[in-house]
């Protein structure tokens, strides 16, 4: 596979794609490693994860630079992402000793539950946030005593490969964390099919996610799915309009819109719609699109020429478009649309395209926000606390924010309603997704000969 810098179109590396036989060998190694890894004392597993986090800390700038050149991320984002990888590893390094079961009162003995690891976990990663999304699966899976095989996206394997080296340098035993770059339909599909893979964590498109869920069902294989989104940013007339308008562009254009949580539909109460649109457009006009290494850059390139063509197909009559470099590189300008009948309003564009539409009243805002098969995230801007509560409870999405657009903190749960996913990642309960609950009853009779 040719790995390309999307900002320059230079070839960065050529990497061999794993075939099905190589996946089978990796699964055999992971099975073997699992026998010893599950027996590593909780405190020792924790120490190894902390050592892994320290390795990431020491190599944070190198990882950030890799993500800039391989994925086109802006320097500010890439540094935040390397820090997030470190923090997620530290957070789940605190989990092995806290992976408690329960003791449940029963007559005639005691009843206890154990949280048993699943075995080999496959983590299939998209290209939009390569190292971060990989780690959200890897860290809790390892903490719970599983071994892991990561299949990075075709475009962006470089940080994943480096993280696997750093894990070894930290002292994680061979076979506990493996990274296999490869084609989705070959290496990814074999991970899903392999009977010795106990669980698949998939982040990517809803289309592929459905296919994986259907295949996994044949083996009753565990799955966590993090899929697409078409999130609504709802702005009521009583909101701090200036703040909402200043924050709205980067809530959709961050990472050039290649973000599953992108608030790509802005719903504005009709009485302030025109004013909001004017302020938003002024803000978008000021966004700098270009060299991702420049700290002043708000948006880098899209991931590939194919993806850019797909994004462009959604834009016919833009209300406003910003500027962007001409090339080389897969550039696309920040784009504002105002229609609610076009494809862009209903489908996930996964690029820097936002639709702004008016609404009349709370009920209509909720109806439009929920009129989608997706349900990942969203925002509500209002100064009325009662309304904030009502709308937050009524919007069908897994991650909402009020008077803010932030969706992701590693210590709070993350995931989608409806076709945006299945299960949750991150937060205090992530290990539940990487363990089975085993219930054991010990009869109080018959342990010793009665006197």
Instruction: Quote the least distance from Cβ 435 to ligand NAD, whole Å.
Output: 21
User: Alpha-carbon distance 294 to 76, whole Å?
Assistant: 9
Instruction: Quote the least distance from Cβ 347 to ligand NAD, whole Å.
Output: 10
For residue 351, what is the enclosing H or E element?
A: none
Residue 177 near ligand NAD by CB under 6 A: no
Residue 287 near ligand NAD by CB under 6 A: no
324 in catalytic set: no
Tell me how many residues contact ligand NAD (CB under 6 A): 32
Bridge-based pairing of strands 222-226 and 421-422 is antiparallel
Q: Kindly identify the residues of this chain, within the stretch 401-420, that bind ligand NAD according to CB under 6 A.
A: 416, 420
* 74, 137, 255, 306, 350 from 303: Cα distances, Å: 13, 23, 10, 9, 11
Give every CB contact of residue 237 below 8 A, 6+ residues apart in sequence.
Answer: 269, 271, 272
- Give 74 or 203: the residue with its C-beta nearer to ligand NAD: 203
User: Alpha-carbon distance 234 to 71, whole Å?
Assistant: 30
- Give 44 or 185: the residue with its C-beta nearer to ligand NAD: 185
CA angle 191, 195, 200 (to 5 degrees): 45
- Give 227 or 244: the residue with its C-beta nearer to ligand NAD: 227
What sign for the dihedral angle of Cα 417, 313, 78, 74?
Answer: negative
Closest CA to 179 of 135, 220, 212, 149: 149
Among the residue ranges 103-111, 180-188, 230-238, 285-293, the one whose residues contact ligand NAD (CB under 6 A)? 180-188
Bridge-based pairing of strands 177-179 and 147-151 is parallel
User: Alpha-carbon distance 235 to 362, whole Å?
Assistant: 10
Residue 154 near ligand NAD by CB under 6 A: yes
For 147, phi then psi, to 5°, come to: -105, 155
Bridge-based pairing of strands 377-381 and 232-235 is parallel
Catalytic residue among 260, 261, 269, 425, which? 260
Instruction: Quote the least distance from Cβ 425 to ligand NAD, whole Å.
Output: 7
Which of 95, 348, 372, 378 touches ligand NAD by CB under 6 A?
Answer: 348
Tokens of 139: 């860290």
Among the residue ranges 123-131, 163-171, 290-298, 355-363, the one whose residues contact ligand NAD (CB under 6 A)? 123-131
Instruction: Quote the least distance from Cβ 217 to ligand NAD, whole Å.
Output: 14
Tokens of 353: 């395209």
Residue 127 near ligand NAD by CB under 6 A: yes
- Give 37 or 410: the residue with its C-beta nearer to ligand NAD: 410
Q: Based on the number of CB atoms within 10 Å of its own CB, is 283 exposed (0-12), middle (13-18) or buried (19 or more)?
A: middle
Instruction: Quote the least distance from Cβ 204 to ligand NAD, whole Å.
Output: 3
185 in catalytic set: no
Per the DSSP assignment, residues forming a β-bridge with 399 are: 377
Residue pair 191/197 in contact by the 8 Å Cβ criterion: yes
Residue 185 near ligand NAD by CB under 6 A: yes
Residue 350 near ligand NAD by CB under 6 A: yes
Among the residue ranges 15-23, 28-36, 68-76, 187-195, the one whose residues contact ligand NAD (CB under 6 A)? 187-195
Instruction: Quote the least distance from Cβ 337 to ligand NAD, whole Å.
Output: 19
Q: Kindly identify the residues of this chain, within the stretch 202-261, that bind ligand NAD according to CB under 6 A.
A: 203-205, 208, 211-212, 226-229, 260
- Give 120 or 365: the residue with its C-beta nearer to ligand NAD: 120
Residue 125 near ligand NAD by CB under 6 A: yes
Binding site for ligand NAD (CB under 6 A): 124-129, 133, 151, 153-154, 184-185, 188-189, 192, 203-205, 208, 211-212, 226-229, 260, 348, 350, 376, 416, 420-421
Q: Which residues are catalytic?
A: 226, 260
């Amino acid at each position: 596979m040719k790995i390309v810098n999307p900002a320059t179109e230079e070839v960065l590396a050529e990497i061999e794609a794993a075939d099905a036989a190589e996946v089978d060998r990796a699964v055999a190694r992971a099975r073997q490693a699992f026998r010893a890894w599950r027996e590593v004392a909780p405190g020792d597993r924790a120490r190894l994860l902390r050592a892994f986090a320290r390795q990431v800390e020491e190599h944070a700038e190198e990882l950030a630079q890799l993500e800039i050149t391989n994925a086109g991320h802006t320097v500010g984002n890439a540094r935040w992402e390397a820090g997030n990888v470190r923090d997620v590893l530290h957070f789940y390094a605190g989990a092995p000793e806290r992976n408690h079961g329960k003791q449940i009162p029963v007559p005639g003995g005691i009843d206890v539950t154990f949280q048993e690891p699943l075995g080999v976990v496959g983590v299939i990663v998209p290209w939009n946030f390569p190292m971060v999304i990989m780690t959200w699966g890897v860290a809790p899976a390892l903490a719970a005593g599983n071994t892991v095989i990561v299949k990075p996206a075709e475009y962006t394997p470089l940080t994943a490969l480096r993280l696997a080296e750093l894990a070894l340098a930290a002292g994680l035993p061979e076979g506990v964390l493996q990274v296999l770059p490869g084609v989705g339909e070959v290496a990814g599909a074999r991970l899903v099919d392999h009977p010795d893979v106990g669980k698949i964590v998939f982040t990517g498109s809803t289309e592929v996610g459905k296919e994986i869920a259907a295949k996994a069902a044949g083996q009753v294989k565990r799955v966590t799915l993090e899929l697409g989104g078409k999130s609504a940013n709802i702005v009521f007339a009583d909101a701090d309009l200036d703040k909402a308008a200043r924050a709205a562009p980067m809530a959709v254009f961050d990472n050039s819109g290649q973000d599953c949580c992108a608030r790509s539909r802005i719903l504005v109460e009709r009485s302030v719609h025109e004013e909001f649109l004017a302020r938003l457009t002024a803000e978008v006009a000021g966004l700098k699109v270009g060299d991702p290494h420049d700290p002043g850059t708000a948006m880098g390139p899209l991931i590939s020429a194919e993806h850019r063509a797909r994004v462009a197909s959604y834009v016919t009559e833009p209300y406003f478009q910003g500027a962007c470099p001409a090339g080389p590189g897969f550039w696309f300008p920040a784009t504002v649309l105002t229609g609610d009948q076009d494809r862009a309003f209903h489908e996930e564009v996964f690029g820097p395209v936002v639709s702004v539409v008016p609404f009349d009243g709370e009920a209509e805002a909720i109806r439009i926000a929920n009129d989608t098969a997706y349900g990942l995230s969203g925002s509500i801007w209002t100064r009325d606390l009662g309304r904030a509560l009502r709308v937050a409870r009524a919007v069908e999405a897994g991650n909402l924010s009020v008077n803010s657009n932030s969706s992701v903190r590693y210590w709070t749960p993350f995931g989608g309603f409806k076709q945006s996913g299945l299960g949750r990642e991150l937060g205090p309960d992530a290990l539940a997704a990487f363990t089975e609950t085993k219930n054991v009853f010990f009869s109080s009779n018959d342990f010793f000969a009665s006197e």
